[in-house]
């Protein structure tokens, strides 16, 4: 039951009706017995500045930011956290007495998902498949965790090289064509193998990046940031090879829980958040 004391939060984007954040966050809020409400709010590009000022004036404790506003919103905020600055995108905004700070919680969501499974990337050799939109948060997370080496395997090295060059001030990142012998030579050394491409996502579930699994160690941790389906062909193959696996649900739930912690200082239970996410993704007939 919402009251005059209910604290408001939400997510802005365009379109926004498909967002899973309200179901996920409200499930965590309800399980924790808190007097908060989280809603989805459609915001057109031309109304972004007005929306930000409106949320500030209305006293929203915090809000998530999704496509297409993750970069554009930065100029309307009072402060940008280091992670968001380096990644170049904001996905969560904290309102502290009218002072708006932008964060990127994908870094924490990505890393904490692995750690909850007992795997730490620190000092490990990591191989990342793909260098698209999600890759920057993943790369920065791996750098912060001090991976030993990082190799990016892609179809088009010319497109991916600028991403590696951008992060070169923090560590050397090798970009290789994933069909090349040089890339194949990196696979037996990988402790962590990450798919950040959309290959294998519903409805194209019969696809995955070209990995020679004969070269992969059975103790390699295989992480696919896709969460539909719950087990991609990439993860199924990895599991059958003996690898420990993790899908993108952990990252999605983790980034949401981290945003709530930043806004409130409180920790939401992630199990009901994950259950609500899966229920929203696979509703019963």
Residues designated as active site: 70
Note whether 40 and 60 are within 8 A (CB): no
Output Rg (C-alpha) for the chain, integer angstroms: 19
* Parallel/antiparallel/unpaired status of strands 92-96 and 99-103: antiparallel
Note whether 224 and 201 are within 8 A (CB): no
102 class by beta-carbon count within 10 Å (0-12 exposed, 13-18 middle, 19+ buried): buried
Task: Measure the CA–CA gap between 217 and 91, rounded to whole angstroms.
Answer: 35
Note whether 28 and 272 are within 8 A (CB): yes
DSSP string, 1-55: ---TTPEEEEEEESS-TT-SHHHHHHHHHHHHT--EEEEEEE--GGGHHHHHHHH
Task: Measure the CA–CA gap between 114 and 194, rounded to whole angstroms.
Answer: 11
Task: Measure the CA–CA gap between 33 and 53, rounded to whole angstroms.
Answer: 29
Task: Measure the CA–CA gap between 194 and 184, rounded to whole angstroms.
Answer: 15
């Amino acid at each position: 039951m919402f009251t005059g004391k209910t604290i408001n939060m939400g997510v802005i984007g365009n379109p926004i009706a498909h967002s899973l954040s309200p179901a996920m966050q409200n499930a965590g809020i309800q399980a924790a017995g808190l007097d908060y409400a989280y809603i989805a709010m459609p915001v057109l590009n031309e109304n972004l500045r007005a929306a930000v000022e409106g949320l500030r004036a209305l006293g929203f404790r915090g809000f998530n930011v999704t496509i297409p506003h993750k970069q554009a919103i930065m100029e309307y905020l009072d402060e940008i956290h280091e992670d968001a600055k380096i990644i170049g995108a904001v996905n969560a905004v904290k309102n502290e007495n009218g002072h708006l700070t932008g964060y990127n919680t994908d870094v924490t969501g990505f890393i904490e998902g692995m750690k909850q499974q007992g795997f730490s990337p620190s000092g490990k050799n990591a191989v990342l498949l793909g260098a698209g939109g999600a890759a920057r948060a993943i790369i920065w997370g791996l750098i912060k965790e001090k991976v030993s080496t990082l190799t990016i395997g892609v179809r088009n090295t010319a497109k991916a090289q600028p991403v590696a060059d951008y992060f070169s001030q923090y560590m050397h990142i090798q970009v290789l064509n994933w069909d090349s012998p040089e890339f194949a030579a990196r696979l037996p050394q990988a402790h962590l193998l990450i798919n950040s491409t959309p290959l294998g996502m519903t409805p194209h579930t019969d696809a995955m990046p070209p990995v020679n699994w004969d070269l992969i160690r059975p103790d390699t941790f295989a992480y696919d940031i896709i969460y539909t389906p719950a087990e991609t062909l990439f993860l199924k193959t990895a599991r059958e090879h003996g690898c420990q696996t993790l899908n993108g649900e952990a990252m999605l739930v983790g980034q949401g829980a981290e945003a709530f912690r930043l806004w409130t200082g409180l920790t939401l239970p992630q199990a009901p958040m994950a259950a609500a996410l899966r229920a929203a993704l696979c509703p019963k007939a």
